[in-house]
């Protein structure tokens, strides 16, 4: 191993440890940083990290623009490029303060890794995002097959996401004991559940209808009475794979282990919508569905605060900004109504 590669590995490891122990980042965030640095290492072709200047930063941007997505073969999306640049900029800003590097790396040169402002503004924007309607989700739950335990698990997963607006990563890390059916709520314990930023909060079932609640109740009942699961077993167990009658690997039920990562759950979610003849929405879009549902139930500031907290947010503005944008067509309809109606009188404002 060359000296340059050895030095690069050593300082990269130090940086990743710093992210973990000094910044307190999650493993997923650390993996994201490591992946971005690895892309830069491919560009460097065994050169030392110290060999950095503004022109090299600009050349790396051009390098990213010419790269292809390894999975799809398409050009890297602007959001992917910007994500890599943000992580690498953070790395070089940190390097600029490290012994043996601060004489070669400057903060002003690291600033050349700043993503394009126009695309960053678009990324941070709160434009309306396509998401399933409540009617579409109910139709999907009614149409999903339930002949096997895996099919029932998959349907229960979608119903649970609909009921709680939880992120799929958090949902698959839950244990049966986290769900309180008596009080229709879920305890998201940041110490054991994979919640964002390790937050702990309680989510009551959103008012999306009795069918979704019944599906989750029936699933938990099956886990306990048929499969003899206890409160400490996973709510959504991983698929058991074995050699079937055809001498090939195939699904053979469920295990007592949770999924290792949310990718399988996301694929199940998208495939279920596709099979039902609906757009392949991602699980995260359910949060937009639930945020939009607030307008049918919330009237007071307390209502909106409770709704936001139920989604795991500390501030109602987070919910509104991230998930509550109004579709452009609906926006035009509302302003037509405002023009025809005129200003509210005092009774309307107070009621």
Which of 74, 73, 47, 72 shows the shortest CA–CA distance to 60?
47
pLDDT at residue number 241: 80
Answer whether 296's CB lies under 8 Å from 307's CB: no
Cα(89)–Cα(235) distance, integer angstroms: 40
For the record, the structure tokens of 63 come out as 């390098």
- Are 180 and 186 within 8 A, CB to CB? yes
Q: What is residue 72's predicted lDDT score, i.e. its pLDDT?
A: 74
Topology of the domain covering 134-294 = hpI Integrase; Chain A (1.10.443)
Largest CA distance in the chain: 78
Between the alpha carbon of residue 167 and those of residues 57, 170, 190, 214, 329, the distances in Å are 35, 5, 13, 21, 28
Strand partners, 75: 68
Partners of residue 187 on adjacent β-strands: 202
User: Would you list the domain boundaries of the chain?
Assistant: 3-124, 134-294
Report the pLDDT value the prediction gives residue 345, as an integer from 0 to 100. Answer: 63
Q: DSSP character for 189?
A: -
What's the pLDDT at 4? 67
Sign of CA dihedral 63, 30, 108, 100: negative
Beta carbons within 10 angstroms of residue 140's beta carbon: 22
- Fold agreement between 3-124 and 134-294: no
Q: Domain 3-124 has what CATH class?
A: mainly alpha
**Residue numbers in the chain where pLDDT is lower than 70:** 1-4, 118-128, 318-332, 334-335, 338-339, 342-351
List of residues 6+ apart from 36 with CB closer than 8 A: 83, 84, 86, 87, 88, 91
List helix spans (H) across 241-351: 263-275, 285-293, 301-310, 316-323, 328-341, 346-350
Whole-number pLDDT of residue 316: 74
pLDDT tens digits, residue range 90-117? 999 999 999 999 889 999 999 999 987 7
Task: Give the separation between CA 213 and CA 198, rounded to whole angstroms.
Answer: 26
Tokens of 11: 């300082």
The candidate with the shortest Cα–Cα distance to 58, out of 110, 15, 130, is 110
User: Which residue is it, tokens 């709520």?
Assistant: 185
Q: Which two tokens stand for residue 113?
A: 């890794």
Q: Check residue 121 and give its pLDDT.
A: 57
- Check if the beta carbon of residue 19 is closer than 8 Å to that of residue 29: yes
Rounded to whole angstroms, how far apart are CA atoms 122 and 109?
25
In DSSP notation, 291-316 reads: HHHGGGT--SHHHHHHHHHHTT-SSH
DSSP 20-52: HHTS---HHHHHHHHHHHHHHHHHHTS--TT--
The pair of three-digit structure tokens given for residue 333, joined into one six-digit string: 């309809």
CA–CA gap between residue 318 and residue 139 (Å, rounded): 29
Quick one: tokens of 347? 């009774």
Q: Is 74 helix (H, G, I), strand (E, B) or coil?
A: coil
Q: What is the pTM assigned to this prediction?
A: 0.71
Rounded to whole angstroms, the Cα distance separating 53 from 55 reads 6
């Amino acid at each position: 191993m060359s000296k340059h590669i050895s030095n690069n590995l050593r300082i990269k490891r130090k940086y990743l440890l710093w992210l973990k122990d000094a910044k307190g980042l999650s493993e997923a965030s650390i993996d994201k940083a490591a992946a971005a640095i690895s892309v830069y290492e491919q560009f460097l072709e065994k050169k030392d990290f110290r060999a950095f200047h503004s022109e090299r930063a600009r050349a790396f941007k051009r390098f990213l623009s010419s790269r292809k997505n390894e999975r799809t073969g398409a050009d890297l999306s602007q959001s992917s490029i910007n994500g890599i640049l943000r992580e690498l900029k953070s790395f070089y800003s940190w390097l600029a303060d490290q012994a043996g590097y601060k004489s070669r790396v400057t903060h002003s040169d690291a600033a050349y890794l700043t993503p394009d402002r126009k695309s960053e503004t678009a990324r941070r924007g709160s434009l309306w995002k396509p998401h399933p309607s409540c009617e579409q989700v109910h139709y999907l739950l009614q149409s999903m097959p339930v002949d096997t335990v895996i099919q029932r698990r998959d349907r229960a997963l979608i119903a649970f996401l609909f009921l709680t607006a939880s992120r799929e990563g958090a949902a698959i890390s839950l244990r049966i004991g986290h769900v309180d059916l008596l009080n229709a709520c879920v305890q998201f314990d940041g110490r054991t559940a994979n919640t964002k930023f390790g937050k702990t909060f309680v989510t009551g079932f959103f008012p999306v209808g009795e069918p979704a609640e019944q599906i989750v109740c029936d699933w938990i009942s099956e886990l306990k009475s048929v499969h003899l699961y206890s409160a400490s077993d996973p709510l959504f167990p991983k698929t058991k794979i074995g050699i079937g009658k055809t001498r090939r690997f195939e699904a053979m039920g469920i295990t007592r282990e949770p999924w290792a990562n949310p990718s399988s759950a996301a694929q199940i979610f998208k495939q279920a919508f596709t099979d039902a003849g609906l757009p392949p929405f991602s699980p995260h879009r359910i949060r937009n569905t639930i945020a939009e549902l607030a307008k049918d139930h919330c009237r007071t500031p307390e209502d909106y605060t409770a709704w936001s907290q139920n989604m795991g947010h500390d501030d109602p503005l987070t919910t509104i900004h991230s998930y509550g944008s109004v579709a452009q067509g609906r926006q035009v309809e509302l302003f037509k109504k405002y023009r025809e109606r005129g200003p509210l009188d005092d009774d309307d404002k107070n009621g």
